[in-house]
Structure 1
Amino acid sequence: MGVFTYEMEVITEIPTAKMFNAVVLDGDNLLPKIIPQAIKNVELLEGDGGPGSIKKITFGEGSQFKYVKHKVDAVDKENLSYGYSVIEGDALLNNELEKIVYETKVSPSPSGGGSICKNTSKYYTIGEFKIQEEQIKAGKDKASALYKAFEAYLLANPDAY
C-alpha cells in the first residue's frame, strides 16, 4: 500500500465565513442546485452531518462515476476546516484504492475580503497501483471548477449566508 498526496488552492472573491458556510455547512443542499449535471443528490445515511456521519453522493448522468459514500472525519467551524474520507463507490477505482481522504481549509486571501480554499487529497492505494498524472490533473480541475461554481452562485446571490 502507498499513499499519494497532492494539494491545491483556489482563490475566490467570497469572504471566508460565507464560503465555508456554503461549501461545507450547506454544500449538501447547494451542490445539486449549482452543478446538477455533476451531482444528482446528496443523502445523509447516518448521523447528523458531523464527525462520524455517512453521506452518499449520487453523480449526474454525465459523470464518470455513479456514486460515492463518504464519512465525515472533522468539521471545525472555528478554524473553517473540514475533512472526510471516501469509503465506498466507483471513485475507488474498482478497489485499486482503499480510501481517499480530503481535507479542506478556508482562510483569508492576502488581498483581504476573499478566501483561499486549500485542499489536501490523500489517495491510499492497494498493492502496486499508482495514481496517474492525468487523474491528478482531472481531479484538480474538477475541484477548482467546484469552488468556482460556489463562487459564481454566491456572487449571484449576495444575500445568501
Structure 2
Amino acid sequence: MGVITLEKEFPVNVSPAKLFKAFCLETDVLMPKILSGYIESSEIIEGDGGPGTIRKITFVEGKWLNYVKQKIEAVDKENFTYSFGVIEADVWKFAEVEKVIYENKFVPTPEGGSICKRTSTYHIKGDGEVDKDKIKEDVYGKKTEGLLKAVEAYFLANPDA
C-alpha cells in the first residue's frame, strides 16, 4: 500500500475560532446552512463528537456524491486543530484509494483572519497508482478553496454566528 501526502495553506478572512466552530464543533448545524445547495444533512451516527466519532454527510440529490462517512481522528480545541478520515463514500473519485486522512490547523493572521493549513494523506490500495497531480487538481483546486470561501462568506454575512 502506497501513501501520498499533500500539504496546502489557504488564507481565510475569518478567525480560527469561527473556522474551528464550522468545521469541528458545530458542523452538523452550520455546514447544511452554509452549503445548502450541496449538503442536505450532517449527523453523528456514532460517538459524541470527539475522536472515534462517525459522521455521515448526505448531499443534495443530483450531486456527484450521495453521501460520505467521516471518522474523527483528533480534536484539539485549544490549538484549533482536528483531523478526520473519509472512511466510506458511495462513489470514490479514485477507486485505488482506501482512505484519506485530513489534518487541519487554523492559525491566526495579524489581520484577524486565518490560514487553514491542511495535510491530506491518501492511503492507496495494494499496488494501485494514483496521479498526485490529479488529486491536487481535484481536491486542492476548486473544492477545498470553494468550501473555505463559502464558510468565509457565511461568517462575514453573519458576524454574530
TM-score when scaled to structure 1?
0.90
CA distance in 2: counterparts of 1:91 and 1:99, whole angstroms: 13
Give the superposition deviation at 1:97.
1.7
- What is the count of residue pairs matched by the alignment? 159
> Which residue is equivalent to 1:154?
155
> Which residue is equivalent to 1:131?
130
Give the superposition deviation at 1:38.
1.9
Give the superposition deviation at 1:39.
1.4
Alignment of 1:89-108 (within 5 A): 89-93=89-93, 96-108=96-108
> Which residue is equivalent to 1:70?
70
**Contact kept? 2:96, 2:130, Cα under 8 Å:** no
Give the superposition deviation at 1:62.
4.0
Structure 1 residues 124 and 74: CA distance shift in structure 2, 3 A: same
DSSP-derived class of the 1:131 partner: coil
**Contact kept? 2:14, 2:114, Cα under 8 Å:** yes
| Alignment gaps of 5+ in structure 2 | none
CA RMSD of aligned residues (A): 1.7
**Contact kept? 1:82, 1:104, Cα under 8 Å:** yes
Give the superposition deviation at 1:71.
0.8
Structure 1 residues 145 and 94: CA distance shift in structure 2, 3 A: closer
- Identity in percent: 48
CA distance in 2: counterparts of 1:84 and 1:20, whole angstroms: 13
| Alignment gaps of 5+ in structure 1 | none
**Contact kept? 2:12, 2:152, Cα under 8 Å:** yes
> Which residue is equivalent to 2:88?
88
> Which residue is equivalent to 2:48?
48
CA distance in 1: counterparts of 2:146 and 2:79, whole angstroms: 24
